[in-house]
Amino acid sequence: MFRVIRTEGAARRGEFICPHGVVQTPVFMNVGTQGAIKGAVSALDLKELGCQIELSNTYHLHLRPGDDVVRQMGGLHKFMGWDGPMLTDSGGFQVFSLAGLRKITEEGVTFSSHIDGRRIFMGPEESMRIQSNLGSDVAMAFDECVENPAPYDYAKASCERTLRWLMRCKAEHDKLNSLSECVNPGQVLFGINQGATYEDLRVWHMKETAKIDCGGYAIGGLAVGEPTEVMYAIIEAVEPHMPADKPRYLMGVGTPSNIIEAVARGVEFFDCVMPARNARHGKLFTWDGALNIKNERFKLDQRPISPGCGCPVCRNFSRAYLRHLFAAGEMLAMRLAVMHNLYFYNELVRRIRDALDAGEFEAFRKEYSLRLAGRAE
C-alpha cells in the first residue's frame, strides 16, 4: 500500500507499506546484487547506514546459489540476514547489459551464463517464479531495456513486447501469490515503462502500462548514455500518466543531483550502483561535492570525509587514514568507503524528506542540486 503524505510542486512525500516494514519516501534502495553489497558490507551494516530497502538481482541469484536454494533456506530475507523491505530486479536489465550473450524472442530471452557459458532461458513466467522463490516484497516485471540510441521501429516493437510481457507477469504473479507454499504472499509487482528516448513511445507505453493494476510503476531504460537533459525530459513526459496513488521508481539513477532533480519531477524510488562502485575506486561524496580520497593532498588531512557526517566512518576515521588504506591496498579501504557513500545517499533522501515535510524542498533543491554535482575541497 502507498499513500502520499504531502506534495510540493510535483515532488511527493509518501509512505510505502509492505510485509517487511514501512518505507518513508523518497527512498534510495541499497544495491546488494548477489545478496551482499560489493565492498564487504553485509545486511548487518545496512541498518546503521540508514538503509530502508535492499535490492537484489533475479538473474544473478538464479545462477548462484540458485533461487531453489534460497527458497529452501526460507527466502532471501532469512538467507542474507536482512529483515527490512526488499526489492528484486527482474533480470530484464541483463537483457541489455549482456547484449552479446543473449537472444530475444516473444517467449523470452536465452542467455549464455557469464559464469560458465551454459544456456539459460528466462521469460516473464520464469522471472516471476524466481522472484517468488526469493520472497522479496517488490518484484519487478520482466522487460527489455534497449540500447541507446535505438532505432525507432525497434524501440516501438520492444516496448510493445514489454507490455505483453507485463500481462504475462501479472497473471503468473497473481497465481504464485495465491499458492499456500508462497514464500511471501504479500509481494507486489511493479510494471516498467520503456520506449528508449522517444517521448511518444514513452507516453503511449505508460498509458497502456497504467491500465494493468500493479503495486507501483517504474521508468526504466534511462541513464544508459543519453544526455541528462533528455532523461529529465522523458520523466516530465511520462510522470503525468503514472497513477498518482502508486509509487514511482526511476531505475538505475543516479548521481545525488539526479535524485534531487527527479524528486522535483515526481519520482520517489531510486537505486544505483554508483555510491558503492565509486567508493571502491576512492571517489567519495560530501555535502560540498565529490572528492578522490587517493589524492596526495589528503595525505595529512585530519578531517573526516565529510565534516558533520554522522556515518560510522566519519565519526571515527580521517581522510588521511582512508587515503593510506587505499595506498596500502587494504580491503578495509573499500569497506569504509562504501559504508560512507551508502550512508551519504541514505542521508540525502532523508534530508529531502525533511525538506518536503517542512515545505522547503525547493529551497533545498536550489542549495544542493548544483553543489553536489561539483568537486569538494
Write out the catalytic residue numbers. 89, 271
For the record, the C-alpha cell of 241 comes out as 500518466
Residue (of 359, 363, 342) closest to 256 by Cα position: 342
* CA 353 to each of CA 7, 27, 276, 306, 358: distance values in angstroms, whole numbers, following the listed order: 11, 9, 22, 21, 9
88-113 core/surface letters (b: 16 or more CB in 10 A; e: else): bbbbbbbbbebeebbeeeeebbebee
Q: Is the Cβ–Cβ distance between 189 and 139 less than 8 Å?
A: yes
Q: Which residues contact 103 (CB under 8 A, 6 or more apart)?
A: 109, 110
C-alpha distance across the termini of the chain, in Å: 43
- DSSP for residue 176: H
Give the three-class secondary structure for 231: helix
